[in-house]
Structure 1
Amino acid sequence: MHSDDVNPTDATVNSTADAAAETEVSAAIAGVGAIPATPAAHAVPPAANRRMVRAQGQSNGVHKQREVSAPVPAASGGAARDGAHREGAMRFDETGKVSLDHIYTQPDPHAYFSTLRRLDYVIPQLARPFFSQLIEERRARLRRPPTVLDVGCSYGVNAALLRCGLTMDDMYDRYGERDGEAPDRAVLLARDRELVQARQSRATPRFVGLDSSRPAVSYARAAGFLDDAVCADLEERDPTEAERTVLAGADFVVSTGCIGYVTERTIDRIASASERSDRPWMAHFVLRMFSFDPFTEVLDALGYDTVHVEGVFPQRRFASAQEQQQVLDTLAAVGVDPRGLESDGWLYARLHVSRPRHAPARRTARAGHPADSLIGRPG
Structure 2
Amino acid sequence: MVGSGSGGTEDVAGGKSRFDDIYDRPDPRAYFRRLAPLEYEIPHHAQPLFRQAAAERAALDAGRPHGPAVLDVCCSYGINAALLNHDVTLAEMYERYTSPAHQTMSTTELAARDKEFYAERRRPDAVPVFGLDVSAPAVHYALEVGLLDAAFTDDLEHGSPSPRLSRALTEVGLITLTGGGSYVTARTFAALLDGARRPVWASAFVLRTVSYVPIVQTFAAHGLRTTLDVSRTYPQRLCTDERERQYAIAAVRALGGDPAGREESGRFHSLHYESRPDTP
TM-score, scaled relative to structure 2: 0.92
Task: Give the residue type in structure 2 aligned to 1:222.
Answer: E
Distance in structure 1 (CA, Å) of the matches to 2:61 and 2:247: 45
Are 1:343 and 2:261 counterparts? no
Q: Partner residue of 1:323?
A: 244
> CA 1:2–1:169 in structure 2 vs 1: closer, same or farther (change >3 Å)?
closer
Residues 113-158 of structure 1 show CA distances to partners (whole Å, capped at 9, x for unaligned) of: 0000110000000000000111111122111643111000000000
Q: Looking at CA atoms only, which structure, 1 or 2, has the larger radius of gyration? A: 1
For the residues of structure 2 that align with 1:326 and 1:345, how far apart are their CA atoms? 11
**Aligned ranges 1:1-379 → 2 under 5 Å:** 1=1, 50-51=5-6, 90-94=10-14, 96-143=15-62, 145-178=67-100, 181-200=103-122, 203-274=125-196, 276=197, 278-310=198-230, 311-359=232-280
Q: Write 1 or 2 for the structure with the bigger share of helix.
A: 2
Unmatched 5+ stretches in structure 2: none
**Letter in structure 1 aligned against 2:172:** A
Q: Which has the higher contact order (CA 8 A, sep 6+)?
A: 1
Q: Tell me, in whole angstroms, the C-alpha distance in 2 between the residues paired with 1:289 and 1:149.
A: 24
Give the distance between the partners of 1:179 and 1:226, measured in 2 at CA: 25
Question: Structure 1 pair 194/91, CA: closer, same or farther in 2 (3 Å)?
Answer: same
What amino acid is aligned across from residue 132 of structure 2 in structure 1?
L
Distance 1:196 1:181, change over 3 A: closer
- Once residues 203 and 166 of structure 1 are traced to their aligned partners in structure 2, the CA distance between those partners, rounded to angstroms, is 14
- Report the Cα distance in structure 1 between the residues aligned to 2:131 and 2:75, rounded to whole angstroms: 5
Structure 2 counterpart SS, 1:111: helix
3-state SS of paired residue (1:93): coil
Deviations 1:1-28 (A, max 9, x none): 369xxxxxxxxxxxxxxxxxxxxxxxxx
CA contact (8 A) 1:2 1:213 kept: no
The 2-side partners of 1:265 and 1:224 are apart by 29
Structure 1 residues 180 and 107: CA distance shift in structure 2, 3 A = closer
Offset at 1:90? 3.8
Taking the aligned partners of 1:204 and 1:333, their CA distance within structure 2 comes to 40
- Rounded to whole Å, the distance in 1 between the matches of 2:87 and 2:279 is 32
CA displacement at 1:201 relative to structure 2: 5.9
Amino acid at match of 2:204: H
Secondary structure class of the residue paired with 2:71 = strand
User: Cα RMSD between the aligned structures?
Assistant: 2.0
- For these two proteins, the number of residue pairs brought into alignment is 276
- Distance in 1 of aligned mates of 2:212 and 2:274: 11
Describe the superposition over 1:141-177 as per-residue Cα deviations: whole angstroms up to 9, x where unpaired: 1116431110000000000111112111111111114
TM-score w.r.t. length of structure 1: 0.69
How many angstroms apart in 2 are the aligned matches of 1:109 and 1:89?
A: 15
Contact 1:107 1:215 survives alignment (8 Å): yes
Q: Deviations over 1:194-247 (max 9, x none)?
A: 123223366420010000000001100001100101111100011122211112
- Residue identity in the other structure for 2:223: G
Higher mean C-alpha displacement, 291-300 vs 114-123: 291-300
Structure 1 gaps of 5+ residues are: 4-48, 53-87, 360-379
Shift of 1:350: 0.3
Secondary structure in structure 2 of the residue aligned to 1:251 = strand
In the TM superposition, residue 183 of structure 1 has moved relative to its aligned partner by 3.6
